Amino acid sequence: MTVLVKPKPIEGHKVRAFQMLIDGKWVDSAEGRTIERVAPGHGVVVSRYQAGTKADAEKAIAAARRAFDEGSWPRMTASQRSLVLLRAADIIAERADELAYLDAIESGKPISQAKGELGGAADIWRYAAALARDLHGESYNTLGDGTLGVVLREAIGVVSIITPWNFPFLIVSQKLPFALAAGCTTVVKPSELTSASTLLLGEILEAAGVPAGVVNIITGTGPEVGAPMTTHPDVDMVSFTGSTGVGRLTMANAAQTLKKVSLELGGKNPQIVFPDANLDEFIDAAVFGAYFNAGECCNAGSRLILHRDIADEVTRRIAELSAKVKVGDPLDPETQVGAIITPQHLEKIAGYVSAASRDGAAVAHGGTALDLGMGQFMAPTILSSVRPDMAVAREEVFGPVLSVLTFETTEEAIRIANAIDYGLSAGVWSRGFDTCLTIGRRVRAGTIWMNTFMDGAPELPFGGYRQSGLGRELGRHSVEDYTETKTLNMHMGPRTGWWMPR
């Protein structure tokens, strides 16, 4: 049985209305239409945003273009930009409870988790502030007495930043501060399902001293607002996080004007477990990796690849621990798994489980939607006897569904891990250093965790192989992603050439 935390009516409920930030002004959309957000955990409207249009996107892009070409931000010293980012980090920390509440109520994530994400986000802004002062080029004085080469790093220009609904504030914090640190100007589009905390970030950046037009925040749907952000000739780069399908469309749109593209897309992440692993620690990590953020996470550990000798025991123990997971009210501090983002997405998750059952998988735990009186919820689910060719083992379910597969040899485990289109992250559990290193070297994924899962730090790059995306976020080179290199080839003294005497 799943432990249920039934949602309570929201105290002092009031719909919060937001405008868009364009060129330093808070404005309504060109057509005056709005979008209402229904809280997935409570079933009531909690936010009202502007439904942006192509005209709004073009105004925001024009403002960012002017701010880059004519404004002060790209021309500030690195230390000046760094101080602004540090002030922003301080204000984010001060307003963390407010931001976490908005993310929890709009996305359905547990409030305790949202508060943890806000702490991580503030840390990322501080890290970006430090990197702003470390951005530098190169010089070459070894090219001969008459030549000096200098390689500059310059801000790439106007960056379109498009973020998803599952980590509204954390993911914009993995992109925006690094673009600002480099000296870029930006147009930001949060998901139309979870725009509130990003709009509040606009207020924070104004208070921190970001000049008008440097950060523009527009709300609306992908076809209306996102598309022009990826095709407009005045945009120099697109940074997108979302589904692989929309990532392909983003890349195709950007190719029309050969923009630089950074994509963080889907994942179907394996945890490979050997008989000598510390099973107590692994089982805790398996439950966390599968159900964190209700499985609505590109990094979710949604595939367990277990050695056959331990598969039955491990599956039983994971099911026992899953039964203790608290599911329900996102605003209850005790909740561990919150609501599913939309009714349509809940139906999609349930469809994967039903299809897997028809194909021969066994439901070891959960497997059904939960009726808690309001909102939409899914029971933590474990599917055993899963074959590698099943859709649930190959496709991103994006819900609290764990698929259990088995292996006998290391080669077989690696083959199963690599036999999908994704390559975002993976885990390996063994006390053997050679075993961990072999898996780490041969599994094709951007991050390999060894005897842990879903740990991270701003210093560590994040991104994927294959259809999990292009490029990396975070890490010491993250600011460089928002730059172009320029070579200055300087000649000294008399020049010799075709028509010059030698």
Per-residue DSSP letters for 48-59? EEE---HHHHHH
- Average pLDDT (110-127) is 98
> Domain 270-450, what fold?
Aldehyde Dehydrogenase; Chain A, domain 2 (3.40.309)
The domain spans of the chain are: 7-265+468-486, 270-450
- Average pLDDT (477-487) is 97
Residue whose token pair is 């021969």: 360
Q: How far apart are CA 279 and CA 53, in angstroms?
A: 52
Q: What is the pLDDT of residue 438?
A: 98
φ and ψ at 123, to 5 degrees?
A: -65, -40
Residue pair 142/136 in contact by the 8 Å Cβ criterion: no
Q: Return the active site residues.
A: 264, 298
H helices of 174-310, in order, are 176-182, 196-208, 227-231, 244-255, 279-291
Strand partners, 150: 139, 488
pTM, full prediction: 0.97
Condensed to tens digits (0 to 9), the pLDDT of residues 179-189 reads: 999 999 999 99
Q: What is the pLDDT of residue 2?
A: 87
Residue pair 270/427 in contact by the 8 Å Cβ criterion: yes
Joined together, the tokens standing for residue 23 give: 């060129």
- Average pLDDT (184-197) is 98
Q: How far apart are CA 245 and CA 248, in angstroms?
A: 5
Q: What is the pLDDT of residue 1?
A: 73
Q: What is the pLDDT of residue 13?
A: 84
Nearest Cα to Cα of residue 331 among 44, 55, 79: 44
- Average pLDDT (364-373) is 97
Q: What is the pLDDT of residue 55?
A: 98
CATH architecture of 7-265+468-486: 3-Layer(aba) Sandwich (3.40)
Nearest Cα to Cα of residue 427 among 320, 317, 278, 326: 278
Q: What is the pLDDT of residue 116?
A: 98
Q: What is the pLDDT of residue 500?
A: 62
- Average pLDDT (191-201) is 98
User: Mean pLDDT in the chain?
Assistant: 97
Q: How far apart are CA 205 and CA 59, in angstroms?
A: 19
Q: How far apart are CA 378 and CA 393, in angstroms?
A: 19
Condensed to tens digits (0 to 9), the pLDDT of residues 38-49 reads: 999 999 999 999
Joined together, the tokens standing for residue 8 give: 């309570």
- The one-character DSSP state at 257 is T
Nearest Cα to Cα of residue 483 among 176, 154, 261: 154
Q: Is the confidence at residue 8, as pLDDT, over 70?
A: yes
Q: What is the pLDDT of residue 501?
A: 61
CA distances from 163 to 190, 195, 238, 263 (A): 5, 9, 11, 11
Joined together, the tokens standing for residue 356 give: 């897997």
- Residue count (the chain): 502
Joined together, the tokens standing for residue 105 give: 């109520």
Joined together, the tokens standing for residue 309 give: 């000798």
Condensed to tens digits (0 to 9), the pLDDT of residues 228-242 reads: 999 999 999 999 999
Condensed to tens digits (0 to 9), the pLDDT of residues 317-359 reads: 999 999 999 999 999 999 999 999 999 999 999 999 999 999 9
Q: What is the pLDDT of residue 77?
A: 98
The one-letter amino acid code at 299 reads N
- Identify the three-state secondary structure at position 159: strand
Condensed to tens digits (0 to 9), the pLDDT of residues 205-222 reads: 999 999 999 999 999 999
More confident residue, 493 or 293: 293
Nearest Cα to Cα of residue 426 among 402, 406, 450: 450
Q: Is the confidence at residue 449, as pLDDT, over 70?
A: yes
Q: What is the pLDDT of residue 494?
A: 83
Q: What is the pLDDT of residue 493?
A: 86
Residue pair 185/61 in contact by the 8 Å Cβ criterion: no
Residue pair 231/259 in contact by the 8 Å Cβ criterion: no
Condensed to tens digits (0 to 9), the pLDDT of residues 9-39 reads: 998 889 999 999 999 999 999 999 999 999 9
- The one-character DSSP state at 315 is H
The DSSP string of 412-440 is HHHHHHHSSSEESEEEEE-S-HHHHHHHH
Nearest Cα to Cα of residue 197 among 356, 7, 18, 449: 18
Q: What is the pLDDT of residue 232?
A: 98
